[in-house]
Amino acid sequence: MADKEEVYVSVDIEADGPIPGPYSMLSLGAAAFSRDGTMVGTFSANLDALPGAGQDPDTMRWWGGQKEAWEACRKDLQDPKKAMGEFVGWVKGLRGIPVFVGYPAGFDFTFVYWYIVYFGHESPFSFSALDIKTYAMALLKTPYRGTVKKKMPRRWFTGCSKHKHLALLDAIEQGEIFIAMLNENLGAKDGTAPEKGT
């Protein structure tokens, strides 16, 4: 597999609680990007709640202020087992070695990995994920807790849409940010250095 290029799968999820199992993943959105920044595919599914799972009161209070996003993630619900099988199949069908990219990866990957394994599938990402915030920390040479979006260079956000808590749109947005960071760190695919304007 060493001769295959990586494909960066930016994933965003919405949930009704802080951890999977007692609570449910409500929506899963993913956008796959090639090394040159081309978006090569997307995946999106809204999921039924897990049988017997609850809803975290703090999370639901937050959802109370996100009525449009809540309504969007409760439409066209799919059985989670079926949806995760389709997601794994979609990832495996991508050309290249899939790399899970998240912001924060610790939250999104926890839900996605748990759901993949719980419903009887093998993770196409193995058990690792790339965290955008950690990548930004390394690029900017800033403390982790101080590495927040409002302190990141505006050039990384050029052309990106505003975060909306809609899983697919947010996955696309954070994937575009990551590609901008990747190009700045490694140089453009053709070997030229990217512009470093403010």
Radius of gyration of the chain (CA): 17
Q: Residue 192 falls within a domain, yes or no?
A: no
The whole domain housing 181 covers 6-186
Mean pLDDT confidence for 99-117: 97
| pTM for the full predicted model | 0.90
pLDDT digits (tens, 9 = 90+) for 61-72: 999 999 999 999
Assess if residue 45 is contained within a domain: yes
Sheet holding 97-102, edge to edge: 77-78, 39-47, 25-33, 6-15, 97-102, 130-131
- Number of neighbouring beta carbons within 10 Å of residue 87: 23
Phi, psi of 12 (to 5 degrees): -135, 135
Tell me whether residue 140 is in a domain.
yes
Q: Measured between alpha carbons, how far is 30 from 84 in angstroms, rounded to an integer? A: 12
Asked whether residue 195 is domain-assigned, the answer is no
What is the 3-state composition of the chain as percent helix, strand, coil, each rounded to the nearest 5? 40, 20, 40
Q: What is the pLDDT of residue 192?
A: 42
CB of 73 closer than 8 Å to CB of 45:
no
Residue 117 belongs to some domain of the structure: yes
CATH number of 146's domain: 3.30.420.10
Residue 122 lies in a domain: yes
Whether 118 is in a domain gets the answer yes
Q: What would the pLDDT profile of 174-187 be if each residue is shown by its tens digit?
A: 999 999 999 999 87
Domain count, the chain: 1
123-168: per-residue pLDDT in tens?
999 999 999 999 999 999 999 999 998 889 989 987 766 667 799 9
Q: Is residue 179 part of a domain?
A: yes
Per-residue pLDDT tens for 6-55? 999 999 999 999 999 999 999 999 999 999 999 999 999 999 999 999 99
